[in-house]
Structure 1
Amino acid sequence: MSEGGPPDDGDELDGARVALVADECRRRLLRHLASGDRREHTLASLTAALSERADASGSTEGRDRDLRVALHHVHLPKLDDAGVIHYDPDTHRIEYLGDPEIESLLSRLDSE
């Protein structure tokens, strides 16, 4: 990158997008959303899908509850604020809007 000028290679990473994929739970969530045919999901369906991929240690019921709470209060609102999804906290419905930069970051992480 030249001093004071634009990036030379156009490969600058958006810090906000990197922060979104920095969290393991959000990476699993984003991979699940990006890999599916469906654009609309429910909190219950996402909890079930991510729980299946999680480590089998501990109580399933407690782990599912903790995951559902974390999705509802932390991860889904962050992704909604970033414009990657639309999350309605009242109906617990999620629409995946997609984000090419995040999908590219996930691909880079998968290849490392």
Structure 2
Amino acid sequence: MSERSGSTDGGRGRTKPAVDDLEGDRPFIDTVFEALSDWRRREVCQFFMEGDVSTATVDELAMLLAASEPVGLGEPRGRSHDEFATELVETHLPRLDAAGVVDYDDRSDTVRYWGQPTVEKWLDHVTEVDGRSN
């Protein structure tokens, strides 16, 4: 386990673990690449990185995904807001939470962005290579 400390949560008394503390023996870089392996997770991270907000609702993030759905990924285009909300809740937010990038509170359907410099660095690189900008 790493000796790096995580970030605090702004007064709730908990500490969010650093990303490399979460996966035990799993290499840290694997956790980063898993977190960024899906366009929806990249869009969520990009939203927080580029904006002046550190929290958002699942509803807000689902609207973002519906508006920025890429063409040609082999998935049906024009999916509904509700479909994106379900994907976020069931798959993508729990994965970003497990990676230590966000804190997803399923009771209030809110997401708090923790940031993580290594994830942000690789996201910038992926965005540049992929040619997508928001």
Query: TM class by shorter-chain length?
Result: 0.7 to 0.9
Match of 1:44 among 33, 43, 59: 59
Report which of the two structures shows the higher radius of gyration computed on alpha carbons.
Answer: 1
CA contact (8 A) 2:102 2:112 kept: yes
State the 4+ residue runs in structure 1 displaced beyond 6 angstroms: none
After TM superposition, the structure 1 = structure 2 runs for residues 75-90 of structure 1, keeping only pairs within 5 Å, are 75-90=92-107
1:35 aligns with 2:50: yes
Gaps of 5+ in 2: 1-26, 130-134
TM (normalized to structure 1)? 0.78
Q: In the alignment, does 2:30 pair up with 1:15? A: yes
Quick check: which one's helix share is greater?
1
Please state whether the residue corresponding to 2:56 is helix, strand or coil. Answer: strand
State the structure with bigger RCO (CA 8 A, min sep 6), 1 or 2.
1
Say how many residue pairs are matched.
99
| Preserved CA contact (<8 Å) 2:69 2:77 | no
| Cα pair distance change 1:105/1:89, threshold 3 Å | same
Q: What TM-score results when the alignment is normalised by the length of structure 2?
A: 0.66
Moved more, 24-33 or 50-59: 50-59
Distance 2:37 2:114 in 1: 19
What's the counterpart of residue 3 of structure 1?
none
Please provide the CA RMSD for this pair: 2.1
- Offset of residue 110 of structure 1: 2.2
Structure 1 equivalent of residue 85 of structure 2: 68
